[in-house]
Amino acid sequence: MPQSSSIHVAIIMDGNGRWAARRGLPRVAGHRAGAEAVRRVVEAAPDQGITALTLYAFSADNWKRPPGEVAALMRLFARHLRTETPRLVENGVRLEVVGRRDRLPAPLVAGITAVERATAPGGRLALRLAVDYSARWAIGAGVILPDVDLLIRTGGEQRLSDFLLWEAAYAELYFTDTMWPDFGAADLARALADFRTRQRRFGGLPEAAAG
Active-site positions? 14, 62
> Of 179, 66, 191, 51, which is closest to residue 124 (Cα–Cα)?
51
Cα–Cα dist 117/96, whole Å = 9
Residue 151: which residues within 8 A CB-CB, separation 6 or more? 9, 10, 11, 12, 160, 163, 164, 168, 171, 172, 173, 174
Applying the rule CB under 6 A, the residues between 170 and 199 that interact with ligand FPP are: 180
Nearest to ligand FPP of 7, 72 (CB atom): 72
Cα–Cα dist 147/8, whole Å = 7
Kindly state the smallest distance separating residue 200's Cβ from ligand FPP, in Å: 28
Applying the rule CB under 6 A, the residues between 93 and 152 that interact with ligand FPP are: 129
Kindly state the smallest distance separating residue 204's Cβ from ligand FPP, in Å: 36
Applying the rule CB under 6 A, the residues between 154 and 173 that interact with ligand FPP are: 155
In sign, the C-alpha dihedral spanning 150, 151, 156, 159 is: negative
| Sheet containing strand 50-59, strands side by side | 93-98, 125-133, 50-59, 7-12, 150-153, 172-175
Q: Which stretch binds ligand FPP (CB under 6 A): 13-21, 88-96, 132-140, 163-171?
A: 13-21
The closest residue (CB) to ligand FPP is 17
Q: Which stretch binds ligand FPP (CB under 6 A): 69-77, 141-149, 159-167, 200-208?
A: 69-77
17 binds ligand FPP (CB under 6 A): yes
Q: Which position among 57, 88, 145, 150 is part of the footprint of ligand FPP (CB under 6 A)?
A: 57
N residues, the chain: 211
Binding site residues, ligand FPP, CB under 6 A: 13-18, 31, 34-35, 38, 57-58, 62, 73, 76-77, 80, 129, 155, 180
